[in-house]
């Protein structure tokens, strides 16, 4: 699904090092609007770091990011959120002491307009906003069949459910670019399928551009329109899913040479 229109996101010559150790070296690739781009690669290849650069948690040593035509040398987390970049994390980064609904509503922060005083005094605008946010959150929770967990404190939920909550939080504010770090990890096959379906739906219906990291190659190949393979911070391969599985370099670095099928 390559379109002639300009890319939604372009990563240009990005390099990142920690205390002199290179995590990403001179990486460039493009993500077309409305495509699902999968980032795969061995552990420590720099995938999460790249997402962190894209929404401003890490500052690259060099290179630039072009998002919807605008150039950034560095992103600020808040700025990224404001521009519609949503994010799900590798280790669940939920607000563990809050309820599921509150977690999701927190994702709407940048749309909040009511002032502190209005909120404290329960003035109409604050009340309306609360109502709107709550409705929106329930809508999204509905998508994940999580309504009944709305008032549960997330820390007491099983890991798999937490993952879904996190996804819900990432999309509640209707982002234009969604960055997902291993959204399917720790789930069983059925759940993986369910989430994959949701991701596909989001991509299709909401016309969301998605960059995701995932190790379950079976699902990745079904879900993604475009795969970028990283190894030691370098781009190993970049292209349509079909070619990836048989790419010898990818097999050597990532998939493993054995014929054993890992995924169901």
55 binds, among another protein, Mg ion, ligand ATP, none (CB under 5 to 8 A by kind): another protein
Cα separation, 149 vs 163, whole angstroms: 13
149 binds, among Mg ion, another protein, ligand ATP, none (CB under 5 to 8 A by kind): another protein
Cα separation, 95 vs 160, whole angstroms: 15
Q: How far is the CB of 6 from another protein (least distance, A)?
A: 25
Residue closest to Mg ion when measured from CB atoms: 48
Q: How far is the CB of 6 from Mg ion (least distance, A)?
A: 29
13 binds, among Mg ion, ligand ATP, another protein, none (CB under 5 to 8 A by kind): none
Pick out residues in 187-246 that bind Mg ion (CB under 5 A): none
Site string for Mg ion, 64-103 (x = CB under 5 A): --------------------------x-------------
Q: By CB under 6 A, is residue 20 in contact with ligand ATP?
A: no
Q: How far is the CB of 192 from ligand ATP (least distance, A)?
A: 12
Number of residues that bind ligand ATP (CB under 6 A): 16
Q: By CB under 6 A, is residue 46 in contact with ligand ATP?
A: yes
Residues 6+ apart with CB under 8 A from 229: 39, 40, 41, 235, 236, 237, 238, 244, 247, 249, 250, 253, 254
Of 179, 149, 182, 189, which Cα lies nearest the Cα of 41?
182
Pick out residues in 159-178 that bind ligand ATP (CB under 6 A): 159-160
Cα separation, 36 vs 241, whole angstroms: 11
List of long-range contacts for 191-200, beta carbons under 8 Å, 24+ apart: 191/160, 192/216, 192/219, 193/219, 195/163, 195/164, 195/167, 196/222, 196/223, 198/143, 198/144, 198/167, 199/36, 199/223, 200/36
Among 5, 43, 124, 242, binds ligand ATP (CB under 6 A): 43
Q: By CB under 6 A, is residue 209 in contact with ligand ATP?
A: no
Q: How far is the CB of 167 from another protein (least distance, A)?
A: 12
Please report the sign of the dihedral spanned by the C-alpha atoms of residue 24, residue 50, residue 197, residue 184: positive
Pick out residues in 129-158 that bind ligand ATP (CB under 6 A): 156-158
Q: How far is the CB of 86 from another protein (least distance, A)?
A: 7
Q: How far is the CB of 160 from Mg ion (least distance, A)?
A: 9
DSSP β-ladder status, 234-239 and 226-231? antiparallel
Q: How far is the CB of 146 from ligand ATP (least distance, A)?
A: 14
**Which SS3 state, helix, strand or coil, does residue 240 take?**
coil
Question: For the chain, where are the E strands, in sequence order?
Answer: 9-18, 21-31, 36-40, 62-67, 70-72, 85-88, 177-181, 209-213, 226-231, 234-239
Query: Applying CB under 6 A, which residues contact ligand ATP?
Result: 18, 23, 41, 43-49, 90, 156-160
Query: Applying CB under 5 A, which residues contact Mg ion?
Result: 48, 90
């Amino acid at each position: 699904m390559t379109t002639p229109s300009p890319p939604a996101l372009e990563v240009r010559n990005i390099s990142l090092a920690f205390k002199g150790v290179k995590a990403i070296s001179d990486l460039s690739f493009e993500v077309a609007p409305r495509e699902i781009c999968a980032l795969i690669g061995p552990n420590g290849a720099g995938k999460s770091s790249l997402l962190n650069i894209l929404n401003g948690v890490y500052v690259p040593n060099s290179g630039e990011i072009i998002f919807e035509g605008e150039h950034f040398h560095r992103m600020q987390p808040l700025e990224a959120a404001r521009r519609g970049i949503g994010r799900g994390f590798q280790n669940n980064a939920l607000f563990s002491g809050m309820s599921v609904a509150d977690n999701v509503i927190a994702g709407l922060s940048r749309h909040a307009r009511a002032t502190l005083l209005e909120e404290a005094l329960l003035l109409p605008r604050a009340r309306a906003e609360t109502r709107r946010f709550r409705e929106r959150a329930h809508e999204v929770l509905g998508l994940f069949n999580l309504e009944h967990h709305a008032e549960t404190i997330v820390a007491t939920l099983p890991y798999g459910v937490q993952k879904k909550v996190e996804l819900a939080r990432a999309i509640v504010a209707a982002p234009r670019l969604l960055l997902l770090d291993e959204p399917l990890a720790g789930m069983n096959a059925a759940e993986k399928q369910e989430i994959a379906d949701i991701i596909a739906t989001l991509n299709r219906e909401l016309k969301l551009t998605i960059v995701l990291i995932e190790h379950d190659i079976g699902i990745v190949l079904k879900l993604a329109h475009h795969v970028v393979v990283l190894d030691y911070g370098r781009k190993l391969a970049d292209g349509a899913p079909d070619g990836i599985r048989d790419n010898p370099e990818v097999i050597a670095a990532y998939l493993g040479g054995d014929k054993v099928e890992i995924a169901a």
